[in-house]
Amino acid sequence: MQFDSLGLKPELLRAVGEQGYTQPTPVQQKAIPVVLEGHDLMASAQTGTGKTAAFTLPLLQKLSERRAGHPRPRALILTPTRELAAQVHENLRAYGRHLNLKSLEIFGGVNINPQITKLKRGIDVVIATPGRLIDHMERGTVRLDAIETLILDEADRMLDMGFRPAIERIVKALPKQRQTLLFSATFSKEITEMASRYLNDPMRVETAPPNSTVEAIAQQAVRVDQKKKRSLLSWMIGSNDWRQVLVFTRTKHGANRLAKQLETDGLPAAAIHGNKSQGARTRALGDFKKNRIRVLVATDIAARGLDIDQLPHVVNYDIPNVPEDYVHRIGRTGRAGRDGLAVSLVSGAEHGLFEDIRKLVKVEIPTETMDGYEPTEPVSKGSPKSPARRSRGGGGGRGNRNGQKVSAQNRSGRGRQRGRGQGQRRAA
């Protein structure tokens, strides 16, 4: 199937072609016609499979077909993080470059006055994080009474981050007659309940089993004592000459500390998390994309919205407390059919957390030890006592839990699974 078979107008097809895309991904094939027909939609797709284009392309088409006679926004896209808002806005501008439509990203951490000025000039599409949008609503600098389409992107993450009250308040300010689209990489009972309240007889699109991982990502677990993780990580990056590595920690303090330690080890690194200013986060991400630094250490705020072309390696330095976050973390690699390697460093105290992940994703994740880094900590079947853990469950499935021991040189980067459509570019 080609993009020109989906009913998109020539201006959009031209923009898609200029981005180098020829064939739509499965979620784009299924979602775009549904959105163009005006249905509400509840869509689940793996991270990195073109979810953003699945809603931005038909949204742009519908907005361009009917010109607005007022300066108020006609479409609202809610995202959980600044990074995701910026990514969606970037894609929206790329696909709408041949259309006379205006869009604006709204998020905190930056001066609100330029946003106010642009809103006064008239905007068709607002891409916003819930908190900053509430700020504008309280100031009276944005009106939502003309919204025709509401898109909830990564809705499960917004719930995880405590945005439910803000979302409730925003939805109450919208017209009841509207089209609502809910996109997420994972579904849960909370998301299904949200859809029943906000969506009207929605069509449902699923391109893969819920909470599944992309085939192109090779997944590996390494058992190691917590106190040895840092030295093992440095050794793996250096000995295997990994040039671009995204590393996830559980806390902001842990991210800062690990980035400094890696710098001491001679590995250019930077940390990115919620306490960093937007300018610092943007610079760190830019340096990482341009290969000025080898390691970007992030908390889960960066699990959504980081679109890094051809990112080869993701490392779970700390195992996430919520199993679904594992899916989003490793989804930063293996995007658009390219290969990727996801490595999880599992301490004895994190064994129970990783078992929850195995049950959720239902794939074999080989567990090994590295020569010189053999674990001595006892394996705990429970969960760490530190941060509160919330597990939303998952199906059965078994992984390789035998703790096979191999040398690091022989194992790292081996056993990659080949994804389909290799060499074929797909929309972001």
Residues 6+ apart with CB under 8 A from 53: 16, 21, 24, 25, 28, 91, 95, 427, 428
- On whether both 195 and 262 belong to a single domain, the answer is no
- Global pTM value: 0.65
So what's the pLDDT on residue 63? 95
Would 426 be classed as within a structural domain? no
3-state DSSP call for residue 258?
helix
- On whether both 155 and 13 belong to a single domain, the answer is yes
- On whether both 267 and 192 belong to a single domain, the answer is no
Would 416 be classed as within a structural domain? no
- On whether both 286 and 387 belong to a single domain, the answer is yes
- On whether both 199 and 324 belong to a single domain, the answer is no
How many domains is the chain built from? Answer: 2
- On whether both 174 and 32 belong to a single domain, the answer is yes
- On whether both 221 and 200 belong to a single domain, the answer is no
| Helix, strand, coil percent content, the chain, rounded in steps of 5 | 40, 15, 45
Would 89 be classed as within a structural domain? yes
So what's the pLDDT on residue 130? 95
So what's the pLDDT on residue 160? 75
Which residue numbers in the chain have pLDDT < 50? Answer: 385-428
Q: Which residue, 186, 206, 226, sits at the end of a domain?
A: 206
Q: Which residue, 206, 238, 272, sits at the end of a domain?
A: 206
Domain that holds residue 98: 3-206
Tell me, what amino acid is at 262?
L
Would 347 be classed as within a structural domain? yes
User: How wide is the angle at C-alpha 137 spanned by C-alphas 131 and 142, nearest 5°?
Assistant: 115
- On whether both 200 and 227 belong to a single domain, the answer is no
Q: Which residue, 182, 206, 230, sits at the end of a domain?
A: 206
Q: Is the dihedral of CA 151, 187, 80, 169 positive or negative?
A: positive
Give Cα 406 distance to the centre of its chain. 32
- On whether both 186 and 244 belong to a single domain, the answer is no
Would 419 be classed as within a structural domain? no
Would 155 be classed as within a structural domain? yes
Would 195 be classed as within a structural domain? yes
Would 324 be classed as within a structural domain? yes
- On whether both 173 and 223 belong to a single domain, the answer is no
- Partnered with residue 247 across adjacent β-strands are 297, 315
Strands (DSSP E) along 74-121, which ranges?
75-78, 103-106
What are the distances in angstroms from CA 54 to CA 25, 59, 125, 127? 9, 9, 16, 16
Distance CA 270, CA 31 (A): 37
- On whether both 175 and 254 belong to a single domain, the answer is no
- On whether both 9 and 124 belong to a single domain, the answer is yes
Q: Is the dihedral of CA 246, 83, 160, 26 positive or negative?
A: negative
CATH label of the domain that carries residue 33: 3.40.50.300
